[in-house]
Amino acid sequence: MTEEKQLKKLISRWSNGEIDVLCGNLESMSHGLNLHLCSPHVCFFSLSYSFGNYDQFIARAYRFGIHRAVNVYHLLLNNTIDDVMLKAVKNKHTNQSNFRQSITQYIKANQ
């Protein structure tokens, strides 16, 4: 089977919800991948410092109208740059959430 036919078959299986685990690089998977029928298990084997890409991918995987759980896994080694990157992304999430909450409280108090 040619590489093109293999790719078409893989895309067809993906579109039909036949693939149970999506495993890949966050940067590669966060652009142009149809996540409407996303696998119930998503596994990142590498991350980036971009909270925006991480958050967007997760939001797309949990898209409105999806009525199933989506489990997100990170394949990381302890005490490596991967560990540092995940902590940085989580800190960015916390900071962004705190900022949004502060802005909301400010607006409500000044209306």
Instruction: Assess contact for 66 and 39: CB atoms under 8 A.
Output: no
Alpha helices in 1-111 (DSSP H): 3-15, 26-29, 51-61, 81-109
Contact 22, 42 (CB under 8 A): yes
E strands present in the chain: 21-25, 41-46, 71-74
Measured CA to CA, the distance from residue 35 to residue 70 in angstroms comes to 11
The tens digit of pLDDT for each residue in 24-77 reads 888 877 766 666 666 678 888 888 778 888 888 887 777 766 667 788 888 888
